[in-house]
Amino acid sequence: MDFIWLLWILHVSSALEEILLDTTTATSEIGWTSYPSSGWDEVSVLDDKKQLIRTFEVCNINTPNQNNWLRTAFIYRRGAQRVHVRIKFSVRDCASMPNIVSSSCKETFTLYYYEANSDDATDSSPAWQEGPWQKVDTIAADESFSKVDSAGKILKINVKVRSFGPLSKQGFYLAFQDSGACMSLIAVQVFFHKCPAVIRNFASFPETYAGGESTSLVETLGACISNAEEDGSMVKLHCNGEGEWMVAVSQCMCRAGHEPVGDSVCKACTVGTFKISSGSQKCIHCPGHSRTTSVGSKKCDCQNGFYRTSSDSPDSPCTSPPSAPRDLSYEISGSSAVLKWRLPRDLGGREDILFNVICKVCAPEAGICARCSEGLQYEPRPIGLTETRVQVSGLLARVHYTFEIQAVNLVTELSQYSPASASINVSTSQSAPSAVPMMHQVSRTTTSITLSWPQPDQPNGLILDYELRYFDKAESEDNSFVLSSETNMATVKNLIPGKIYAFQVRARTSIGYGPYSGKMYFQTLLEGERTGTAQDRLPLIVGSALGGLAFVVFAVIIIIAIVFKSRRRETPYTDRLQRYIASRGMGVKYYIDPSTYEDPNEAIREFAKEIDVSCVNIEEVIGAGEFGEVCRGRLKLPNKREFTVAIKTLKSGYTDIQRRDFLSEASIMGQFDHPNVIHLEGVVTKSRPVMIVTEFMENGSLDSFLRQNEGQFSVIQLVGMLRGIASGMKYLAEMSYVHRDLAARNILVNSNLVCKVSDFGLSRFLEDEASNPTYTSALGGKIPIRWTAPEAIQYRKFTSASDVWSYGIVMWEVMSYGERPYWDMTNQDVINAIEQDYRLPPPPDCPSVLHLLMLDCWLKERGQRPKFEQIVNTLDKMIRNPAGLKSMGSPSNRPTLQLLSNSPPDFSTLTNVSDWLDAIKMGRYKENFSQAGMNTFELVSRMTLEDIQHIGVVLVGHQKKILNSIQLMRVHLNQLEPVEV
């Protein structure tokens, strides 16, 4: 009720009247029906303006009981619900009339209406009485309107409005009942109210008829004007009984990109301005570094090079990545460096600046840099630094580090450019190795103790040997003995039974000795005491330099080892473990074949870290491996930064053997730690699917990467890749690991073009056979013929030398951007061709030195092939001296093999050194020989290997070839027997 009252108070609009009947201007007969005929009369009179008008009069005041009815014509309702009748009339004042029966004189009349669907009233119907007729009101004259007419009579001119409704039929009649007045109906207007069509509050409302009651409020829904929208609820106005619109209860609002003008127009924002949401606000100018290109913009887009993060509000200014940190400097002390810098000049308009530290180790002469391996500690952290300093500890001696400080903010990753950074070179000086952290007893007798120890945390160079110092605890330290050991294990002999000895050890590099370890005490067995008890393995007293904590850790390790030992005393595993642990510390590591473990799970536990599956988030399948899908994903280890990894999965329904084979790759990979060998993060074996998680290599496998980027790299870049592969293989060969499937498809490439050896699925452990580890496959299996050395194909002689052969093929694949070795020749044709000394020709644009190196790798005699170490050195020289890479071999696009000429030359037909070199296909060294003055067979025949190296024959295969031929030359010149070289 209050609400409606309020609406009434607040009504605002001028109403419209629609006329249904109007006698005001009628001049001809109106023709309404009167009853009885002695009652109402239609007369023409002149009004006060002397205009002729039609009126109805009655004045039977002297006859009592008057009942005179005047009925209008049928009035169509035309949709009106409530009708208003404005009646202009005059009534003679009874008092002003003498001689009348005052009791029958009236000054009122009564208004009626009768609803009908058609104009079917007759003289007698509806009956002239209330009942069929609905009474509207008895209308009295108002004295205030009294006036005297021309005849001196006092008239009361009145205008009264009465209304009635609601109406429902097609139309109605009105009736005026006179009961004895002297009066005149001057004019009658019948009308209804309607609210006009309007635009109000950004909505348009149609014309609306007022309701049937005087208090009715007719609800009308509005439609939002163009570029406006509803504010959650429907927009309504109410039309009241007077035909007036009441204040809207809700409203439309100008949409985003449009601003209000008055309350009836939404105008598009001009170029350079925007409005972010709908509402009554105005368009505003674009914030910094943003713009619009069309009218009606809801937001401003960032200018090139400027960005908003997803958390920046769309009306905030656009920002850019920061410029580089300034004034980067460092202070070095011992094995730590403190790097400091100043904030970038341009923060990009943001406050959220962070810094990342990237460490590289560079070989300046070779121009090669690699990421620093793990082992450096950063205080507070390497990534996401908020402060402008970082302390890096654990630096190795004599290493050229390059530290790059990247400035980043939240929009850096949106930019296509790498973060701006400042770099500084930090070269550490030489320092001796750090102390050996602990020792433990491997075994003891009554007169000897065998100890082993790990490598110092910071070897700071290659450890040449260790010095073990020991003395009888009961005697003075001055009476100590020393013993040198090239490994991290030593047996001290000639001791006295049952005595306690103190031991200390220190490591030596080319710089000298590091500090001695803390003293540890071990006791020889008493005469008659049994060897190998659990107790034997505990050190007796821990020296002062080793804290209590180290002792606890050490004791726990030893106890675990004892438990192992007691459980598995007889298995070869313990020996292997021992050998592995022992070898770990001394820089000479052996690869251990996981298939020699009785329980393959033990190998997994030993070499691969178990990762909780909740740390792994698989994102996308990127390839298919032998055992299941290979995916890209993210690894988030506790307290570590999340990073991208590759995840190999084992498909469901696997057999035990498949699981073992699948995981054996992880057991192998987990033993390696080299920048050019794919790094194992760990395995998931305690949930399904079983997974192997490795570092992620963005560019996938090398063969397809090269094919996709044919011709895109410089020769130096390709040689850099080859150098990486050779370095990884050198490491594997040093670990006595024979890959057996070295091929470009098994090399992975990361985003920095670093190549890493992968795919250890086919690999097999090598027994250490003299210095040349050899593996003969007992199982057979498939062999990748095109990549495999002849001796490995023929009698399964897989060695690091056969890996070198495969490496030569990889070189050829790289230099030919992923061409298939031996093109479409059949495997049998390849085997035959190799047997007949045919070899792959240089790929197009391949520098001859590289092809010569390939040919060296493909020497039939495996002992003559270069070792990986030599290959690395040769490639390093090439990288240092790129001019040597300019000379190309004869261009060869044609798939034809080259015949190697190995048959000895006939010296009797040769006249000079130059011819001889041509005959042995070493013509490229003619200049080297002539510059060295080696112009005669006589002089040449006296040359040694050193002389040959000295005149610039770098490749080992060539040195050997020339030396072999010189021997024949000697035979020819002196008729001597050939001698062994």
Strands (E), 23-94: 33-35, 41-46, 52-59, 68-71, 75-76, 83-92
Residue-wise burial string across 150-185, b where 16 or more C-beta atoms lie within 10 A, e elsewhere? eeeebbbbbebeebbbebeeebbbbbbbbbbbbbbb
623 touches ligand AMP (CB under 6 A):
yes
Site string for ligand AMP, 336-365 (x = CB under 6 A): ------------------------------
Q: Is 689 in the site for ligand AMP (CB under 6 A)?
A: no
Footprint of ligand AMP on 197-256 (CB under 6 A): none
Instruction: Output the smallest distance, CB 787 to ligand AMP, in A.
Output: 15
Cβ atoms of 376 and 404 within 8 Å: the answer is: no
For residue 456, the minimal CB distance to ligand AMP (Å) is 32
CB of 841 to ligand AMP, least distance (A): 28
Joined together, the tokens standing for residue 334 give 């011992």
What count of other Cβ atoms lies within 10 Å of the Cβ of residue 292?
Answer: 21
What are the angstrom distances between the C-alpha of 563 and each of 539, 557, 569, 588, 607? Answer: 17, 10, 10, 27, 19
Whole-angstrom CA distances from 857 to 545, 730, 845 are 52, 14, 20
The residue count for the chain: 981
Q: Which three-class secondary structure state does DSSP give residue 703?
A: helix
By the rule CB under 6 A, 813 interacts with ligand AMP? no
Q: Out of 741, 803, 856, 876, which one is annotated catalytic?
A: 741
> Please, which contacts does 366-370 make with residues 24 or more away whose CB atoms are closer than 8 Å?
366/876, 366/879, 366/880, 367/879, 367/880, 368/720, 368/723, 368/876, 368/879, 369/402, 370/675, 370/754
User: For ligand AMP, which is the closer residue by CB, 196 or 700?
Assistant: 700
Of 237 and 749, which has the nearer Cβ to ligand AMP?
Answer: 749
Phi–psi pair at 768, nearest 5 degrees: -80, 105
802 binds ligand AMP per the rule CB under 6 A: no
Out of 630, 733, 754, 793, the only residue in the binding site for ligand AMP (CB under 6 A) is: 630
Copy the structure tokens of residue 945: 């290997």
Token look-up 């006092």 returns 154
Q: Which stretch binds ligand AMP (CB under 6 A): 150-158, 170-178, 617-625, 867-875?
A: 617-625
* Tokens found for residue 385: 């630094």
Smallest distance from ligand AMP to CB 759, Å: 5
Spatial separation of the C-alpha atoms in residues 357 and 77, rounded to whole Å: 89
Question: Which residues in 633-652 contact ligand AMP (CB under 6 A)?
Answer: 646
Judged by CB under 6 A, the stretch of 116-124, 423-431, 441-449, 620-628 that binds ligand AMP is 620-628
Stretch that binds ligand AMP, among 27-35, 239-247, 298-306, 689-697 (CB under 6 A): 689-697
Reduced to 3 states (helix: H, G, I; strand: E, B; else coil), residue 684 is strand
Is 625 an interacting residue with respect to ligand AMP (CB under 6 A)?
yes
Question: How far is C-alpha 215 from the chain's CA centre?
Answer: 65
Nearest distance in Å: CB 684, ligand AMP: 15
Q: Applying CB under 6 A, which of residues 4, 622, 831, 945 lies at the interface with ligand AMP?
A: 622
Near ligand AMP by CB under 6 A, which window of 20-28, 252-260, 622-630, 972-980? 622-630
Determine if 763 is a binding residue for ligand AMP (CB under 6 A): no
Residue 741 known to be catalytic: yes
| 12, amino acid identity | V
Nearer to ligand AMP, 758 or 763 (CB): 758
Q: Which is nearer to ligand AMP, 300 or 742 (CB)?
A: 742
Q: Does 741 bind ligand AMP (CB under 6 A)?
A: no
Q: How far, CA to CA in Å, does 728 sit from each of 467, 601, 748, 796?
A: 31, 27, 12, 23
User: Applying CB under 6 A, which of residues 21, 87, 697, 755 lies at the interface with ligand AMP?
Assistant: 697
How far apart are CB 867 and ligand AMP at their closest, in Å? 27
Terminal CA-CA length for the chain: 122
Q: How far is the CB of 370 from ligand AMP (least distance, A)?
A: 18
Question: Interior CA angle at 306 toward 303 and 307, to 5°?
Answer: 110
Q: Which of 376, 366, 370, 385 is nearest to 328 (CA)?
A: 385
Contact in structure between 738 and 798 (CB atoms under 8 Å): yes
Considering the complex, what minimum distance in angstroms separates the CB of residue 706 from ligand AMP? 13
How many residues form the binding site for ligand AMP (CB under 6 A)?
16
| Shortest CB 681 distance to ligand AMP, Å | 10
Q: Hey, which residues does 504 pair with through a beta bridge?
A: 469
* Minimum distance, C-beta of residue 753 to ligand AMP, in the bound complex (Å): 14
**CB 696, min distance to ligand AMP, A:** 5
User: Which CB atom, from 694 or from 874, has the smaller least distance to ligand AMP?
Assistant: 694
The residue (of 748 and 849) whose beta carbon lies closer to ligand AMP is 748
| Greatest CA separation for the chain | 185
Q: Which of 72, 694, 816, 870 binds ligand AMP (CB under 6 A)?
A: 694
The pair of three-digit structure tokens given for residue 937, joined into one six-digit string:
């067979």
Half-sphere exposure (Cβ direction) of 500: Cα atoms closer than 13 Å: 13
Single-letter amino acid, residue 245: W
626 sits near ligand AMP (criterion: CB under 6 A)? yes
Residue 959: phi and psi, rounded to 5, are -55, -45
Q: Which is nearer to ligand AMP, 536 or 759 (CB)?
A: 759
Q: Smallest gap, in angstroms, from Cβ of residue 826 to ligand AMP? A: 24
Residues 282 and 275 sit within 8 Å (Cβ to Cβ) = yes
Strand ranges, E, within 726-882: 737-738, 747-749, 755-757, 764-765, 774-776, 797-799, 838-839
Contact 149, 105 (CB under 8 A): no
Q: How many CA atoms lie within 13 A of 199 on its CB side?
A: 12
From 462-470, 569-577, 692-700, 855-863, give the range in contact with ligand AMP by CB under 6 A.
692-700
Q: Which 3 state secondary structure label does DSSP give 795?
A: helix
Nearer to ligand AMP, 82 or 756 (CB): 756
Give Cβ neighbours of residue 653 (< 8 Å, ≥ 6 apart). none
Identity of the residue, 439 or 647, whose beta carbon is nearer to ligand AMP in the bound complex: 647
CB of 658 to ligand AMP, least distance (A): 13
Site string for ligand AMP, 656-685 (x = CB under 6 A): ----------------------x-------
Q: Which stretch binds ligand AMP (CB under 6 A): 22-30, 536-544, 621-629, 708-716?
A: 621-629
Decide: is 748 part of the binding site for ligand AMP (CB under 6 A).
Answer: yes
Tell me the backbone φ, ψ of residue 637, rounded to 5 degrees. Answer: -85, 150
Distance CA 340, CA 326 (A): 9
- Using the minimum distance from each CB to ligand AMP, give the nearer residue, 708 or 832: 708
**Residue 59, strand partner residues:** 182
Among residues 173, 205, 573, 696, the one that binds ligand AMP under rule CB under 6 A: 696
Sites for ligand AMP among residues 699-738 (CB under 6 A)? 700-701
Say whether residue 759 binds ligand AMP (CB under 6 A).
yes
* CB closer to ligand AMP out of 132 and 700: 700
Q: Which helix (H) or strand (E) holds 665?
A: helix 656-669
Per rule CB under 6 A, is residue 512 in the interface with ligand AMP?
A: no
Which amino acids are annotated catalytic?
Answer: 741
Which positions touch ligand AMP (CB under 6 A)?
622-623, 625-626, 630, 646, 678, 694-697, 700-701, 748, 758-759
